[in-house]
């Protein structure tokens, strides 16, 4: 563990990225279940965040339960849920054209939005593995008519075990190219999703910590939201990436198990978790 672990004494809630932090593929990463058990013992609230819009919160809750981490769906905030929440505040009766998969569509359906490609007030884009010319045409037409252009996230590439594959940013980029309009981005590295996740926890940003495995999204988003940040080296980022990074985390840990040790030590348990 690097950095001053004593800052955890000011933290009342943590927001945690999923892939590369809690799990990798089908396996839990070191100390994941222990970390959340430690937070529960210490009375520190937590929620999970992901830029992935293809799955529902229920899917993630079930997946975490299989890894021994019990969580309510309300503790899981996807970029899809965040986008629907932001638009619900602005215009709850909006007509929305969704370019995305089940996680994005269901987030808007649950809030009662009318989903349509005709006369849309918003065009909302996420990863869509069936993206085609017709969707591009409808989205372009709606934006040119004045619909607000919202990107659930702008991740151009997504890491896989073997390589990188196109992310939501590829669909977003096609619409930008066709319309010349830049979208409003809701997911990380923007702070909107983080601030939305903190509201039900009743915690101010300066009392919270964002934990992630990516400097360019997780840590950048935490900084933008005014939160403490912790980088775990169990996913994308490596220690050698830190010197040149434009944003720096407050803490760096090998994995959540190491971070559990710091929380236990500085929150009064007195014992170091392993």
Q: Which residues are catalytic?
A: 17, 19
Which residue blocks in 145-219 are alpha helix, DSSP H? 168-179, 192-198
183: tokens are 């979208």
Return the axis-axis angle of helices 32-42 and 256-266, rounded to nearest 10°: 20
| Other residues' Cβ atoms within 10 Å of the Cβ of residue 7 | 16
Query: Using CA atoms, how far apart are residues 80 and 95, in angstroms rounded to an integer?
Result: 16
Classify residue 152 by its DSSP letter.
S
Handedness of CA 60, 167, 150, 116 (dihedral sign): negative
Q: Of the candidates 192, 163, 197, 171, which has an alpha carbon nearest to the alpha carbon of residue 18?
A: 197
Return the axis-axis angle of helices 79-90 and 102-110, rounded to nearest 10°: 30
- Strand, helix or coil for residue 39: helix
How many helices (H) and strands (E) the chain has is answered by 9, 16
Residues 6+ apart with CB under 8 A from 72: 61
Residues 6+ apart with CB under 8 A from 98: 104, 105, 108, 115, 124, 126
Which backbone phi and psi does 28 adopt, to 5 degrees?
Answer: -75, 145
Query: Using CA atoms, how far apart are residues 38 and 44, in angstroms rounded to an integer?
Result: 9
């Amino acid at each position: 563990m690097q950095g001053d672990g004593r800052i955890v004494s000011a933290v009342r809630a943590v927001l945690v990225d999923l892939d590369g932090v809690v799990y990798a593929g089908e396996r839990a990463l070191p100390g994941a279940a222990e970390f959340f058990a430690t937070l529960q013992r210490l009375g520190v609230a937590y929620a999970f965040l992901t830029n992935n819009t293809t799955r529902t919160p229920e899917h993630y809750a079930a997946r975490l339960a299989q890894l021994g981490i019990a969580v309510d769906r309300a503790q899981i905030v996807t970029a899809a849920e965040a986008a629907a929440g932001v638009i619900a505040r602005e215009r709850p009766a909006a007509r929305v054209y969704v370019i995305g998969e089940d996680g994005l569509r269901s987030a808007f359906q649950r809030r009662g939005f009318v989903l349509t490609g005709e006369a849309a007030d918003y065009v909302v884009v996420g990863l869509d593995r069936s993206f085609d010319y017709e969707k591009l045409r409808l989205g372009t037409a709606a934006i040119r008519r004045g619909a607000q252009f919202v990107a659930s996230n702008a991740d151009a590439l997504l890491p896989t075990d073997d390589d990188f594959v196109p992310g939501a940013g590829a669909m977003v980029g096609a619409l930008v190219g066709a319309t010349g309009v830049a979208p409003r981005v809701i997911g990380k590295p923007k702070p909107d999703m983080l601030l939305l996740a903190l509201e039900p926890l009743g915690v101010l940003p300066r009392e919270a910590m964002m934990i992630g495995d990516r400097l360019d999204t997780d840590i950048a988003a935490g900084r933008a939201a005014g939160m403490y940040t912790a980088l775990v080296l169990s996913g994308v980022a490596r220690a050698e990436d830190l010197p040149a990074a434009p944003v720096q985390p407050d803490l760096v840990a090998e994995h959540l198990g190491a971070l559990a040790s710091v929380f236990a030590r500085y929150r009064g348990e007195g014992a170091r978790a392993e």
